[in-house]
Amino acid sequence: DDFFLTLHSSLCQHFKLLTLFLFLLGTCLGDYGIGVGIGDGGVWVGGGGGGGGNHNSDPGNAAYRALQSWKSAITEDPSGLLKTWVGEDVCSYKGIFCSGSSVISIDLNKANLKGTIVKDLSLLSDLTILHLNTNRFSGQIPDSFTALDSLQELDLSNNMFSGYFPRVTLYIPNLIYLDLRFNNFTGSVPQNLFNKQ
């Protein structure tokens, strides 16, 4: 017990130092938004949900188009999270995390959103993390997701997706983590999923 107490204390101290460093870095960089959070899945360091600035000022840009297209496919938002998805600065949208002007992560876990996933999300070429667990998304995962070359983590667990196993996930080139539990998929899991390197 003493070991875990000492370990916990040490980790908390390091986290406080990291938070202070990121706060100071954010202050020096001006408009660049940086956030640190601890959630059910661990620690997240990045931007999102603030930071000001106009990172994606061109309304014709891919990230803006992709997220606005997806917003229109979400039919229920009981917590009002999508009310922040207004304007051209997509890096200020709640649940969207950026590095510079690139969307690198979307974390909408436990947002209770209802809707579908749109093919336009594949326009987010720098997206590395897509966490959507514990929502009410349905339908299927678009084939266009094979274009997400940077995607490493895809968590769609605890939703209402249906149909056969989404084979598109086998062809996302750099996917390392995949969680599809607690959905309505049918059929068998392809054997080559377990051979993916």
* pLDDT tens, residue by residue, 181-195: 999 999 888 888 877
Fold of the 31-195 domain: 3.80.10
Q: Say if residues 60 and 88 touch (Cβ distance below 8 Å).
A: no
Taking residues 171-176, what's their average pLDDT? 95
77 in helix, strand or coil? coil
- 186, 161 in Cβ contact below 8 A? no
Question: Given a cut of 70, is residue 42 above it in pLDDT?
Answer: no
Rounded to whole angstroms, how far apart are CA atoms 72 and 54?
Answer: 22
Residue 180 reports pLDDT greater than 90 = yes
For the chain, domain boundaries: 1-30, 31-195
**Do the beta carbons of residue 105 and residue 81 sit within 8 Å?**
no
pLDDT digits (tens, 9 = 90+) for 84-99: 999 999 999 999 999 9
Report residue 158: phi and psi, to 5°.
60, 55
Q: What is the pLDDT of residues 17-38, one digit of tens each?
A: 443 343 333 333 333 333 333 3
CB 91 within 8 A of CB 56: yes
Q: How far apart are CA 106 and CA 48, in angstroms?
A: 9
Instruction: Supply the pLDDT for residue 1.
Output: 52
pTM across the whole model? 0.71
Cα-Cα-Cα-Cα dihedral sign, residues 60, 64, 66, 70: negative
